[in-house]
Amino acid sequence: MSAMPILFVIVPALLGLAGLWLLIGSVRELLRNSALARNGLTVDGRVVSSNLKITSSGGRDSNARSRLVETIEFTTANGQRVRGVPVHSDVGMLDRTGEQVTVLHHRDRPDQFIAPRNGRSISPAGPLLKIVFSFVFLGFLAFFITMSLSMFGQMGQIFGG
């Protein structure tokens, strides 16, 4: 038996696992951001630094993406001082270094916080786009696996397999 039909199922299945991982992570990100915006405790914080982060997929014609990563310092209602990076950011390239910002943090885990540009909530557009992409990607993979199984099933009948 040829290994080719198996590869036409295993490789897309592994890609499908990656698509599921992206889907699950995006749903968690969307839920976490909305929960922090809805139920997070609001305090004032200060952006102590902003560092440029450049991500690249590699290669000569790389599509490098850059964004600012803020380090924010704030004090919770019970006096705990927190200094860290928000779990999600919507500031893009806006440098808010030295500015006072509104911080929404988790009641029990203040290191889980957001500091939205508008002070109220973070746009769900990013996670929603990833969720839509994941569904399209997984749908294409399901179609590909189905067609591959169908094609190799028919080839087996043609060649007496």
- Say yes or no: 73 and 92 in one domain: yes
Q: Residue 63 corresponds to which tokens in the numbers above?
A: 């599509």
- pTM assigned to the model: 0.72
- Say yes or no: 147 and 102 in one domain: no
| pLDDT tops 50 at residue 117 | yes
- Say yes or no: 113 and 48 in one domain: yes
Residue 6 lies in a domain: no
- Say yes or no: 98 and 117 in one domain: yes
Residue 28 lies in a domain: no
- Say yes or no: 104 and 56 in one domain: yes
Find the Cα–Cα–Cα–Cα dihedral 116, 120, 122, 125, rounded to 10°: -140
Q: Helices 125-158 and 4-39 sit at what angle, rounded to 10 degrees?
A: 160
- Say yes or no: 131 and 115 in one domain: no
Domain that holds residue 84: 41-122
Average pLDDT over residues 60-68: 72
Strand order in the sheet with 113-114: 81-84, 65-75, 41-55, 100-105, 113-114
d(CA 78, CA 81): 9
Average pLDDT over residues 97-121: 91
- Domain total for the chain? 2
At 96, the pLDDT band (50, 70, 90 cuts) reads very high
Residue 21 lies in a domain: no
- Say yes or no: 71 and 110 in one domain: yes
Q: Are 119 and 43 in contact (CB under 8 A)?
A: no
Q: Are 16 and 146 in contact (CB under 8 A)?
A: no
Residues 6+ apart with CB under 8 A from 103: 42, 43, 44, 45, 72, 74, 113, 114, 115
pLDDT attached to residue 158: 42
Q: Are 117 and 94 in contact (CB under 8 A)?
A: yes
pLDDT tens by residue, 76-90 = 989 999 999 999 888
Average pLDDT over residues 65-86: 92
